[in-house]
Amino acid sequence: MNTSKYFYVNNQKFNYTLEFQNNHVSNYWKHNAPLIDYCETLGITIPHYCYHKDLSISGNCRMCLVELKNSPKPMVSCAMSAKSCLNNSEIYTDSPLVKKARENVLEFLLLNHPLDCPICDQGGECDLQDQSLYFGISKKRFYNFKRIVTDKNIGPIVKTVMTRCIHCTRCVRFSAEIAGTEDLGMFGRGLDSEIGTYVNKTFQSELSGNVIDLCPVGALTSKPYPFLSRSWELKTTNSIDFSDGFGSNLQVSLKNNRVVKITPGYSFGSKNNPWISDKARFSFDGMFSPLRILKGFVSFGPNATAQNSSWKTLLTEITTTLYFQDHLNNHFLTNNSLFIVFSDNISLEVLNLLLLFSKKYSFIKLRKFEGKNQNFDFEKEFLTKPNEILKSDLLVSNLCFLIGLNTRYEGVNLNINLRQRHLKGNFKVLTLGSSKNLTFPTTDLGVTLKNLQQIVEGNHPLCQDFITSQNPTIVTSSSVLYRNDNSGFKELLSVFKNLLSKYHTGWNNINLLNGSLNEAGVSYLSPFKTISNKDLSTSSGLYFLNTQPNTLTFRKLTKLKLLNYNTSNSSWPTYCFEQNFGTTHSELQSSYKPYNYVNLPNGSFFESTGSFLNTEGSLKKTVKFVSTKSQTKEDWQIVRKIFSNTTKLSLLKHPENNLTLNFNTNNFSKFKDFINYQFTAINSLNNKASNTFNLNIKPNYLKLNSKFKRQKLKVFSTKLKIWLNDFYIGGNDSYSRYSATMVNCSRMLRAEKNNFSHLI
């Protein structure tokens, strides 16, 4: 007996048993899929306004009507389950009844809609325009006055023209379900319905810019760049986010070689969140700030006037300075060094090139600008699990422990995953650190590592929660490792892991969230030391590469100098080279007073090509798509030119055939082949770095002898984090503090948040 069932979509026959009643893993999504989503997989596009795959179903626009056989009226396809309504049935998505129904619905939607398409920023990419072309009528049948709705001021990000609103409630559902702020809502009934903030307040969320993409009409558009471009005038290219450690995919739109808009990118075959933070979306104008210096200059003395110079003059001054300092070192029998100080946002190509020079030239020392001296031995110590794996782990986990981490502002993608897991229920989040609002309920355990020590020792009431929970997840921040007791903290985590593995077989669910784009990549290459006061006192010069002038590390060093902490002033740096996107270290010039100061104009993030290793261990690449202005060059070009002019300082040679490597080549592909670890010593690489570039290199690990006495580890009782830097103009990126949009957002945030409310 044949038990097969069939259904028809637009008179096309399908096997119901094969489609909905098999147990294959790839077909599980069809069991709960709405009809509109299933039809899209068949190549049938159903028009809609309120439906969105990542939001709940409201079914209030009525544009997605379809005809169901033997049904007295059209059905709403977004609110109908495909599995239930297609059981031995027939549906039609383009019948005369469906077409007439959509025409009537669209006519009602346009009753109060203003005819301002020529001045609407949504023009050219508006769903209402597209559907009006197919289902709109040319004759007007409504001759009453159109209603007018007052525009709301919901912040410096989103511009509102509420008369255009069709009440699809996408923004309301996004605010409640994804952002977790519930600032937006609908009030009033019938003709008096409006969407707003209930009271006079702004939309306070780090994800508020996403409602611009969600709005199907021009009710919510971008406030920083009104009336700037049309969709057909833009050229789009793919890039990555520079503001956090995830490096999310972005789609950058350009007009006349100028970045005008950034939207979320798309990863085929990936389940990444389609949302980006406001910093990733709007801080790009900081790259092209009017304060940026586009021409290199030389300054002799702290009070001397800066002189704009050509690249030939800049390189001549640098080369002369290096030779002069080399001669002084030989004359006075000293060993002062040139310290190259870089940030965690440096690309892998530039960092590896610096490693090569430091191994050949003994006077070159590499130092990090942020953090503490660390020694990573294993990949698990400085990585976050990939998004797909972490999501699957959270689905089978009912406990998450956040240590010294504010996921809302330090890892937006992670915070969205945690909130989505919380909405599913049976999920408890424990936090160790300052009180904060993560948009979902949390249980605070304290503010010091002593509380973590109590948990590891078994002296805390919540120890049983870790034992009885399913697959507990532990996430910490790389900023915790910047503490002086980072060795003790890592030992606590190691003991904690061993204890939990006894109760959870094969448990290894500790994640470390990096705050910078390439912090994991820097840790892969080498355990770089951090610049210290001792380094400055033994150096003859400094070379700052993509560092931030206002970080706490450098401000501490300058304050120590101003307070005469070290009285041996004979060895303070006398020359300084700076390559910081046109910005300068004003505190450096006022405190250390270098005699030779050279500022090198380098390209911004979108004006450079490079590779980065994000916090998930994925290799992210960006290409140059904005043409360089004035004298600016890419980082690797500047570094190559500087050291290629120092041929008499024993130019770098191949260790085997003694051939001189030509750094003056203009072929970037050959240059990249060279710097991708091909001539680097074996002990400078670890296992992950070799796997990243498919090199057959086996690292040499140091085996400790048992006769050495183990160092006693300490855990300090100082607070993990008292206050987080401003999300909009703080952080580890180099551009947000120069962005006018981010400054306005920060001003709004500080006006509403203070010390008596939640720490942000």
Whether residues 530 and 675 share a domain: the answer is yes
Cα(329)–Cα(335) distance, integer angstroms: 6
Residue 253 counted as domain residue: no
Q: What is the pLDDT of residues 523-559, one digit of tens each?
A: 888 888 888 877 777 788 888 888 876 666 677 776 6
Average pLDDT of the residues of the chain: 81
What percentage of the chain reaches a pLDDT higher than 90?
Answer: 27
**What pLDDT sits at residue 271?**
63
Residue 728 counted as domain residue: no
- Short-list 655, 715, 703, CA closest to 680: 655
Q: Return the H-helix or E-strand segment holding 429.
A: strand 428-432
Domain final residue, candidates 85, 109, 133:
109
For the whole prediction, is pTM greater than 0.95? Answer: no
**What pLDDT sits at residue 676?**
46
477 SS3 class: strand
Residue 66, amino acid: V
Q: What is the pLDDT of residues 600-609, one digit of tens each?
A: 888 889 989 9
Residue 392 counted as domain residue: no
What is the band of 742 on the pLDDT scale with cuts at 50, 70, 90? very high
What is the band of 756 on the pLDDT scale with cuts at 50, 70, 90? very low
Whether residues 324 and 372 share a domain: the answer is yes
Whether residues 533 and 669 share a domain: the answer is yes
- Short-list 227, 210, 203, CA closest to 153: 203
Domain final residue, candidates 89, 109, 129:
109
Length of the chain: 760
**What pLDDT sits at residue 703?**
42
Whether residues 575 and 614 share a domain: the answer is yes
Whether residues 536 and 639 share a domain: the answer is yes
Whether residues 69 and 191 share a domain: the answer is no
Residue 160, amino acid: T
Q: What is the pLDDT of residues 246-273, one digit of tens each?
A: 888 999 999 988 999 999 987 665 566 7
Q: What is the pLDDT of residues 66-110, one digit of tens each?
A: 999 888 899 999 999 998 888 888 999 999 999 999 999 999 999
Whether residues 97 and 189 share a domain: the answer is no
pLDDT at 652 over 50: no
Residue 442 counted as domain residue: no
For the chain, what is the largest distance between any 2 Cα atoms, rounded to a whole number of angstroms? Answer: 101
Whether residues 190 and 219 share a domain: the answer is yes
Residue tagged 């590499």 (tokens): 366
Whether residues 66 and 139 share a domain: the answer is no
Q: What is the CATH number of the domain that holds 531?
A: 3.40.50.740
Q: What is the CATH number of the domain that holds 77?
A: 3.10.20.740
What is the band of 711 on the pLDDT scale with cuts at 50, 70, 90? low
**What pLDDT sits at residue 696?**
39
**What pLDDT sits at residue 314?**
87
Contacts of 728 (CB under 8 A, 6+ apart): 278, 279, 283, 736, 742, 743, 745, 746, 749
Three-state SS string over 327-355 comes to HHHHHHCCCCEEEEEECCCCCHHHHHHHH
Contacts of 507 (CB under 8 A, 6+ apart): 471, 472, 497, 500, 501
Cα(249)–Cα(353) distance, integer angstroms: 26
**What pLDDT sits at residue 312?**
86
Number of compact structural domains in the chain:
3
Residue range 679-686: mean pLDDT, rounded: 40
Lowest mean pLDDT of 290-299, 442-451, 622-631, 677-686, name the range. Answer: 677-686
- What is the span of the domain harbouring residue 97? 6-109
- Short-list 38, 224, 229, CA closest to 121: 229
Residue 495, amino acid: V
pLDDT at 692 over 50: no
Residue 424 counted as domain residue: no
Q: How many helices (H) and strands (E) does the chain have?
A: 24, 26
Whether residues 102 and 139 share a domain: the answer is no
Render the burial of 21-41: b for 16+ CB within 10 Å, e for the rest. Answer: beeeeeeeebeebbbbbbbee
Residue 128 counted as domain residue: yes
pLDDT at 494 over 50: yes
pLDDT at 725 over 70: no
447 in Cβ contact with 280 (< 8 Å): no
Whether residues 640 and 531 share a domain: the answer is yes
Q: What is the pLDDT of residues 150-166, one digit of tens each?
A: 999 999 999 999 999 99
**What pLDDT sits at residue 683?**
37
Structure tokens at 651: 């130019």
Q: How many whole angstroms from its chain centre is CA 214?
A: 20
Q: What is the pLDDT of residues 292-305, one digit of tens each?
A: 777 888 877 666 66
What is the band of 1 on the pLDDT scale with cuts at 50, 70, 90? very low
What percentage of the chain reaches a pLDDT higher than 70?
Answer: 81
Residue tagged 């560092």 (tokens): 547
**What pLDDT sits at residue 378?**
42
Whether residues 532 and 652 share a domain: the answer is yes
Q: What is the pLDDT of residues 511-520, one digit of tens each?
A: 888 888 888 8
664 SS3 class: coil
Residue 609 counted as domain residue: yes
The phi, psi pair for 511, rounded to 5°, reads -120, 140
pLDDT at 209 over 90: yes
pLDDT at 587 over 80: no
Residue range 25-43: mean pLDDT, rounded: 86
Residue 220 counted as domain residue: yes
**What pLDDT sits at residue 9?**
92
Structure tokens at 641: 């030119």
What is the band of 418 on the pLDDT scale with cuts at 50, 70, 90? very high
Contacts of 678 (CB under 8 A, 6+ apart): 695
Structure tokens at 511: 């994640």
Domain final residue, candidates 679, 703, 719:
679
Q: What is the CATH number of the domain that holds 175?
A: 3.30.70.20
More reliable by pLDDT, 308 or 350: 350
Q: What is the pLDDT of residues 122-142, one digit of tens each?
A: 988 999 999 998 888 878 788
What is the band of 679 on the pLDDT scale with cuts at 50, 70, 90? very low
Cα(430)–Cα(205) distance, integer angstroms: 22
